[in-house]
Amino acid sequence: MATGATLQKAIDLVTRATEEDKNKNYEEALRLYEHGVEYFLHAIKYEAQSERAKDSIRAKCIQYLDRAEKLKEFVRKGGEKKKPVKAGESGSGNKKDEDSESDSDDPEKKKMQTKLEGAIIMEKPNIQWTDVAGLEGAKEALKEAVILPIKFPHLFTGKRTPWKGILLFGPPGTGKSYLAKAVATEANNSTFFSVSSSDLVSKWLGESEKLVKNLFELARSHKPSIIFIDEIDSLCSTRSDNESESARRIKTEFLVQMQGVGNDTEGILVLGATNIPWVLDAAIRRRFEKRIYIPLPEANARAEIFKIHNLGKRTEGYSGADISIVVRDALMQPVRKVQTATHFRRVSGPSRDDPNIIVHTYLTPCSPGDQGAIEMSWMDVPGQELFEPKITMSDVLRSIANSKPTVNDEDLKKLLKFKEDFGMEG
């Protein structure tokens, strides 16, 4: 054989194997997988020039051998009830009965649905609407799409139907995922699916789109349902000639399931979140009927997040996540005071055994010039004798000075342009 011919033959064999696997012709798929692995091993021995190439081929061998072993076990147990059907031939009498039997007995489908059931949020996050600072427009849109149709179903009849798709877009850390948690909490009678690309992308050809299909089938069987897909841009970016076939198939399946002919979308809301909405495929973008911009919090919302009202104006450009980091940093300031202190003084405080009685004296960090200052380091302070310093405004201001916002002006301009073209204010 010419150089590379063995490797190409192996690729052709496993490609045919995955197609037979997809069509549930498991015995034929098993034969092709095993045959393909033999060619891969031959290519490693005689054709691969570099260790990197050999490692890549070995990795493929492991993947296909693993699948072959699963198919071998399945076939050995008599699981295969369907033989390969040649083109032009028909199967046995009643196709509907065969499909029904196949759906109920297909172990692959059961495995996929079992995997996806892990995405169902069983325990509510316990985040109320009031816990979300600002974003009144976004909250009202979500109530309109989720809460009202469940509470007042008679309002949504005829042409008045609930929204089927809502896209939350905006800078990182502005509360998009937090809003989704509030939806999961408030939608008492709904099943909430929280999925990411890792739940839906598989190394096996044809399996990713099956996972997407099974996700929507699960949602239909548990409706009313909410499917939340965080970082949806990683799954549904703009289609191009350079992308892989598997990526294109995932997007196509999403399009079909969200608004395809013959698919029931009643009682199902798809909630997507992204920081870079401009990379979404135009057809996917159209499926999200409401596209809500989640902006950086205004001064009053920032003040509400801080719970200290004169800090709102000092944090222009900060997201909610940025502010939470500032607060966490401020909470660490007393610890840093303990670490860097060269002097401590004695203070009275409630006994740790009985907080109602002030009978104990502790050691707390102080300046060298303070009355009663004792020169010592934190290493000299007994563990139970330390009194934690209180957090002051200067601690918070110091943390603000040291913590910079994570959103830059260039990204904000892109998001605002997308909002002007396709979105609405949150």
Q: How far, in Å, CA of 418 to CA of 426, rounded?
A: 13
The H or E element that residue 287 is part of is helix 282-287
CB 183 within 8 A of CB 227: no
Residue span(s) of the chain under CATH 3.40.50.300 come to 115-296+417-425
Strand runs labelled E in 90-178: 165-169
CATH class entry, domain 115-296+417-425: alpha beta
Q: Which helix (H) or strand (E) holds 361?
A: strand 358-366
User: What is the per-residue pLDDT across 186-229, written as a single tens digit (0 to 9) for each?
Assistant: 777 778 888 877 777 766 666 777 888 888 888 888 878 888 88
Give which of 193, 204, 175, 174 is closest to 108, Cα–Cα.
204
Helix (H) or strand (E) holding 184: helix 176-186
CATH of 1-83, one of 1.10.10.10, 1.20.58.80, 2.40.50.100, 3.40.50.300: 1.20.58.80
Specify the long-range contacts of residues 76-79, CB closer than 8 Å, at least 24 apart. 79/26, 79/105, 79/107
CB atoms within 10 A of CB 21: 24
Q: Considering the chain, what percentage of its residues have pLDDT values greater than 90?
A: 2
**Residues spanned by CATH 1.20.58.80 within the chain?**
1-83
Q: Which of the 8 DSSP states describes residue 236?
A: S
* pLDDT tens per residue across span 304-359: 666 544 666 677 777 766 777 777 778 788 888 888 889 999 888 777 766 666 66
Residue 46 — very low, low, confident or very high, per pLDDT cuts 50/70/90? low
Q: Answer whether CATH 3.40.50.11600 is correct for domain 307-404.
A: no
pLDDT at 311: 64
Indicate whether this model's pTM tops 0.75: no
How much is the pLDDT for 91? 44
**DSSP track, 250-281:** HHHHHHHHHH-TT---TTEEEEEEES-GGGB-
At residue 50, the 3 state secondary structure works out as coil
